[in-house]
Structure 1
Amino acid sequence: MYGTQSHEVEVNVPASKAWQLCRGAEIAILAGKHLSDVFDKVEIVEGNGGPGTVLKLTFKPGKAPGNITYFKEKFTVVDDEKRVKQTDVCEGGYLELGFNYFRVRLVVKEKSADCCVLNTTLEYDVKEECAANASLVSIQPFVKAMEFTVDYLLKHK
């Protein structure tokens, strides 16, 4: 069973500035600290923020759907020209709940010289026998992360 969810938000900063923050691991580390009510720890397991980088996100007990305790995500695309970052869960998380894959794509689109749009899309595929677990997927945690990103960008213009 295939599914997608997406959300976008406009922010009054240049796309190049937003991309500089969002392209690597920095924003995940900052968001993990800011959202300390949800995350116990966000850490870089390997890499330097480019393709192949692996992050481990560990949740506080009871704060993730389906009793997920952690997941690792691998940066599979970091395209500076198109301003696209894609990560795939490579261990734990939704994979333990019967998902074939769980992917997050972030696109930073230039709207004008001083304004851009951040678009986050979730893509996932669930094994037929675990199809009910698709209801656990929610864009809301990513919306909270995007709100943090917008606030951070506006405070650090």
Structure 2
Amino acid sequence: MHAHIPQDTAVGIPATVVWDLYGGAKLGRLVDKLLADVIGKVEIVEGDGGVGTIIKLTFPPGGQMTGDMVEIIAKVDDENRVRENEVIEGGFKDLGFDLFRFRLEIIEKDSESCIIRSSMEYEIDDELEDVVSRYVSIRPLKIIAETAGKHENHYHVKLFNQ
């Protein structure tokens, strides 16, 4: 089974500002500072936020997913404002997914707003359909996009220019 699940979130922040957050390591810091209790604790294991960076996400206690999940940043396209992370260990891999990819794209609407297009793509054996219905949700990516849209201007200097 192969699927692609998209989610668009409009935000009142310029695309260049949002890409500055989404295009590198700052997104992990935003999640770690503001969403650790919902999404999990984010740690950069290796790299600087570019292609090849290894990221470890430790899921929060009491959530549906448990333990750790390791991702690699597989693509960063500054010109088109696209980033792709692939799960390489734990999390969805432990549940039987052959491929689990997160794609983040920042689409400029006008000079003061943009759309954060978050999506998930996965491949899994058809016999594991119950795993998909139980664990796959675009909700975490939507929460991250909404948080970025609400907090990016306020927290930008405080969080990222330390």
Tell me if TM exceeds 0.5: yes
Does the aligned pair in 2 maintain the 1:12–1:154 contact within 8 Å?
no
Deviations 1:54-106 (Å, cap 9, x if unpaired)? 110001233133xx311011000000001000000011000000100110000
Specify the code of the residue in structure 2 equivalent to 1:27. L
Cα RMSD (Å) of the superposition? 1.6
Give the structure-1-normalised TM-score: 0.91
| Alignment map for 1:1-157 (pairs within 5 Å) | 1-39=1-39, 41-65=41-65, 68-135=66-133, 136-156=135-155
Amino acid at match of 1:70: D
Identity rate, percent? 39
Q: Is residue 42–residue 58 contact of structure 1 (8 Å, CA) maintained in 2?
A: yes
Question: Cα deviation per residue 1:17-44 (whole Å; 9 max; x = unaligned)?
Answer: 1101110121122212212323552100
Secondary structure at the aligned position of 1:38 is classed as coil
Residue 124 to residue 146, structure 1, CA distance change in 2 (3 Å) = same
Equivalent residue for 2:160?
Answer: none
Which secondary structure state, in structure 2, belongs to the residue aligned with residue 94 of structure 1? coil
Q: How far apart in 2 are the matches of 1:117 and 1:12? A: 9
Q: TM-score, normalised by structure 2?
A: 0.88
Cα distance in structure 2, aligned partners of 1:70 and 1:22: 21
Q: Which runs of no fewer than 5 residues in structure 1 stay unpaired?
A: none
Secondary structure, aligned partner of 1:110:
strand
Give every structure 1 segment of 4 or more consecutive aligned residues whose post-TM-superposition deviation is greater than 6 Å.
Answer: none
1:12 partner letter: G
Check the 8 A contact 1:75/1:86 in 2, yes or no.
Answer: yes
How many residues align? The count is 155
